[in-house]
Amino acid sequence: MSIRERLSGNEASAIAMKQINPDVVAAFPITPSTEIPQYFSTFVSNGTVDTEFVAVESEHSAMSACIGAEAAGGRAMTATSSNGLALMWEMVYIASSLRLPIVMPLVNRAISGPLNIHNDHSDAMGIRDSGWIMLFSENNQEAYDNLIMAHRIAEHKDVRLPLCVCQDGFITSHSIENIELIEDDKVKNFVGEYKPEHYLLNDKEPIAVGPMDLQAYLFEHKYQQANAMRAAKKVILEVAEDFEKMTGRKYSFFEEYRLEDAEIAIICMNSTAGTTKVVVDALREQGVKVGLLKLRVFRPFPAEEIAKAVSHVKALAVLDKAESLNACGGALFTDVTSGLYTNGVQVPTVNYVYGIGGRDTTTKEIEGVYHDLQEIASTGKVENPYRYFGLKGGAN
């Protein structure tokens, strides 16, 4: 029997961490992720977990401590947001290059500047090429579930890569929702013990971690990271299958919401998917064949699977909650269009940047995107592929 609760996304993440009971958690507070280590620290102080909690002086130090703990043979976790992730940037790359399966809740918030504490995905997009597996969460339940699956994915022998679980700052991190928790013993059995093959404290196998890696080897080591990311696709599906057997909740690379017979569709991530589902249902009642592809796995990017899922639609919109400042669309848009092209799928596709700095996203705006798609579908032409909605003045 699952345990029914009412929790915020941050509370749900902290409880998942409690049930995982990692060896080390190192963290520094930053809004809106502060509550995760704060809640977790109470589990440490009251003896619910036997985790070593390291209160560090910065996020750079938090990731450094996790790297040290994981390299030594322990299971390590942290949590951060926005500028905290930016301060970790050097160590984020080092964690993945050393093949250390650290797990980190990432509560998405706009990167400065100017200073803003509200939600967009600019922090996550900043590390999209760092070698971390990246899972996105529509709601509190998915944030919790993704964390329960995270270590099984990251620690798999064919993967051994760090993993971050994203959720939208304040929108889900601080909002209270109904949630189904898994019993502690089931989580313990599902996650299992961490048994690294190579680690610093193994006196039977002296090793070096993080040595100089010049022309003779670095290229090959990066190729190994890339292969591990490719291998993660299979592992993600295998872990999701086991999770479904335990909970009845089904996960994959993405969710196809009323997409099978859709003529026009939207691709988006995180909490915006919930708003989009409301619009899809409303337009379906009016006889408009609309659909949604809600991306869960951003890294590794499931290009082939996405191309297949949307190959039948007449027009497609990709929503980016971050501005890449590259004059040719957001990061999700460029990944999707690249995936369509390389897999031989030709669908008129348009990009919308939206929600920057926590700007509200309304059902009316999403409905407007679908109306634009109807026009594109009727003409087969995209006059301007790089668009915005929710921008003051209505500029595109």
Residue 49 has pLDDT above 80, yes or no: yes
Banded pLDDT at 342 (limits 50, 70, 90): very high
Host H or E run for residue 177: strand 176-181
Banded pLDDT at 396 (limits 50, 70, 90): low
Banded pLDDT at 293 (limits 50, 70, 90): very high
Whether the CA torsion 329, 335, 338, 343 is positive or negative: it is: negative
Where helices occur in the chain by DSSP H, the ranges are 9-20, 35-45, 59-72, 82-97, 122-125, 140-154, 184-191, 218-247, 272-285, 303-310, 331-342, 363-379
What DSSP string describes 66-105? HHHHHHHT--EE--B-HHHHHHHHHHHHHHHHTT---EEE
Give the pTM.
Answer: 0.98
Cβ–Cβ < 8 Å for 209, 308: no
Token pair for 12: 């749900």
Helix (H, G, I), strand (E, B), or coil: what is residue 294?
strand
Residue 217 has pLDDT above 80, yes or no: yes
Residue 394 has pLDDT above 80, yes or no: no
Set out the domains of the chain in order of their start, with CATH numbers.
Answer: 3-247 (3.40.50.970), 254-388 (3.40.50.920)
Task: Return d(Cα 321, Cα 119) in angstroms, integer.
Answer: 9
Task: Return d(Cα 120, Cα 339) in angstroms, integer.
Answer: 24
Cβ–Cβ < 8 Å for 308, 252: no
How much is the pLDDT for 155? 98
How much is the pLDDT for 101? 98
Buried b (16+ CB within 10 A) or exposed e, 248-260: eeebebbbebbbe
Q: How many residues does the chain have?
A: 396
Of 177, 78, 171, 164, give the one whose Cα is nearest residue 120. 171
How much is the pLDDT for 90? 97
Cβ–Cβ < 8 Å for 332, 261: no
Task: Return d(Cα 378, Cα 67) in angstroms, integer.
Answer: 53
How much is the pLDDT for 100? 98
Residue range 66-96, pLDDT digits in tens: 999 999 999 999 999 999 999 999 999 999 9
Q: Give the Å distances, CA to CA, from 96 to 132, 161, 263, 309.
A: 6, 6, 40, 30
Task: Return d(Cα 11, Cα 43) in angstroms, integer.
Answer: 12
**Average per-residue pLDDT for the chain:** 97
Cβ–Cβ < 8 Å for 50, 217: no
How much is the pLDDT for 393? 83
Mean pLDDT of 287-291: 98
Of 354, 364, 333, give the one whose Cα is nearest residue 396. 354
Query: How many other C-beta atoms can be found within 10 angstroms of the C-beta atom of residue 274?
Result: 15
Banded pLDDT at 247 (limits 50, 70, 90): very high
Mean pLDDT of 243-254: 98
Cβ–Cβ < 8 Å for 62, 88: yes
Task: Return d(Cα 192, Cα 151) in angstroms, integer.
Answer: 9
How much is the pLDDT for 371? 98
How much is the pLDDT for 395? 60
Token pair for 367: 């409905």
Angle between helix axes 184-191 and 9-20 (nearest 10 degrees) is 70
End-to-end Cα distance, the chain: 50
Residue range 100-119, pLDDT digits in tens: 999 999 999 999 999 999 99
Residue 1 has pLDDT above 90, yes or no: no
User: Is the bond leading into 162 cis (omega within 30 degrees of zero)?
Assistant: no
Residue range 357-387, pLDDT digits in tens: 999 999 999 999 999 999 999 999 999 999 9
Residue 2 has pLDDT above 90, yes or no: no
Angle at alpha carbon of residue 132, lines to 130 and 111, rounded to 5°: 65
